Structures are given as structure tokens and as C-alpha cells.
Amino acid sequence: MNNKSIQELLQRFPIFKDLTDYEMGPVLDIANHRLFRQGTHIFMQGDPLTNVYFIYSGSVKIYKTDQHGKEQIVNVLRPGDMFPHQGFFRQDNYPAHAEVTEDTVLIYIPIPAFENFLITHPEICMKLFRVLGDIIVDLQNRLEEKILHNTYEQIIFLLLRLAKKHGKEINDNHACLTTQFTNRELANMIGSSRETVSRTLTQLRKQQLISTNNAGLIVLDIDGLEAEML
């Protein structure tokens, strides 16, 4: 991978989007890339936090485990995502596991080197604060869903959220998820059980709010699902 490809990816992110080629030079000097094979871990929960990663291709599952080994999926990341977002501002450990779910190419920047870059480029700090602000709003919305809504409604919110992040619009009110998720993965994303998710999806299919296409991907009736939340 050459510097041009790395720059094109990094400038998809808000913190680098408005930088000139000259300003991107120091960033490219400290950026590295690597291929991770399916099933491998990039880091484990509790490992020392050393790098921030940017997905060039592939998919990464971010998840936590409790003392009993139960898995809680935090997010499923695709090309154009970065993680961990708090990495630039913490001298701590990785807060979750990161597992590659298909062969994935990552660009990564060592945190100490990036901190030195920020010291000399304070305008980047402001852009990074905006990115972190968006993440905080998303986390607040998820907490609100958990507190104020029942499991049926939480699953609908999850499907709508996945449609925005992993969906492709079919027409004005239908979208197809471009990533396949098992019922167990969906359950782990909201802290529910596989059986509950399975029952809810069956109910939504009977209501013709979701369906499955020939490729086995979920198709969502966006307007219909949103109407369920009114």
C-alpha cells in the first residue's frame, strides 16, 4: 500500500478531512499498515493501549467479556471506521477486545507519535473533539434506548441503527443490511438473549416489517419500523 492510498483513506475521517497534502505529510510519516487474517485479535481487553486503527478493508468486531466469559458486542466496524476513539487521549488499556471477522487491512498510528503531532498541530485537536462528541451522543442514545424502551423496541432501534451504518437503500422506504449478523450477535449488541431476538425477528417478519432476500440478507421496511416506535 502506498502513501496515496493511505492518505485517501485517512482523509475520509473528519479529523484529517480538511488537511492539505503538506499537512498530511507528518501523518503519513507515522502511519503504518498491516493485513490481519480472519479470526485473529488485534488486541485484547486490558492490553496496553498503543495504537489507533483505521479500517481500509474488512471487518472488525469490538466486544467485551464479563467475569463469566459472556460476550457483549460493542460494535461491528467496517471500512472507513476508526477505533478506539478514546485512544488519542488515554494512557490506559484497551477497553475491549478487537477481533477480525474477515481478512482485514488496517492502517494504524502509534499513540505517542500522534500525541507529538497534535502538540504541533492544535487545529487537529479541535476536529478530534468533534469526532469524540459524535461518539458520546451515540452512546447516550444507546443508554436511553436501554433505559426507556422494552426489548422489542430495543431490537427495532438496533435494526434501524444497523441500517444506517451497514445498510444499502433499496427504495424510498426499504434498506438491505449489507453485513450478515447472527441472532447471537444481535442479542449481544443489546445485552439480550438469542431466543428473544429470534422471537422478535419472527414477529417482525409476520408483520412484514422485515424480510430476507435471496442472499440471506435482512431487508428492512424503514418507515414501518419507525412507525412501531411512535
CATH architecture of 3-139: Sandwich (2.60)
149-228, what's its fold?
Answer: Arc Repressor Mutant, subunit A (1.10.10)
Each residue's pLDDT expressed in tens, for the chain with a length of 230 residues? 788 888 888 888 767 877 788 888 888 999 999 999 999 999 999 898 889 899 999 999 999 887 777 888 888 888 888 888 665 556 678 889 999 999 999 999 998 888 888 888 887 777 767 766 776 777 777 778 777 788 899 999 999 988 988 888 888 789 999 888 888 888 888 888 889 999 999 999 999 999 998 888 899 999 999 998 87
C-beta contacts of 206-212 below 8 A and 24+ residues apart: 210/159
Task: Give the whole-angstrom CA distance, residue 104 versus residue 59.
Answer: 6
- Helix, strand or coil for residue 37? coil
Q: What are the DSSP calls for 169-203, one per residue?
A: EEETTEEEESS---HHHHHHHHT--HHHHHHHHHH
C-alpha cell at 74: 460493542
Amino acid residing at 223: D
DSSP conformation letters of 48-93: B--EEEEEEEEEEEEEEE-TT--EEEEEEE-TT-EE-GGGGG--SB
The span from the CA of 132 to the CA of 39, in Å, is: 28
How far is the C-alpha of 56 from the C-alpha of 32, rounded, in Å?
Answer: 12
In the structure grid, which three cell numbers stand for residue 148, read together?
A: 426507556
Cell of 193: 438473549
Upstream peptide bond of 84 is cis (omega within 30 degrees of 0): yes
Domain boundaries, the chain: 3-139, 149-228
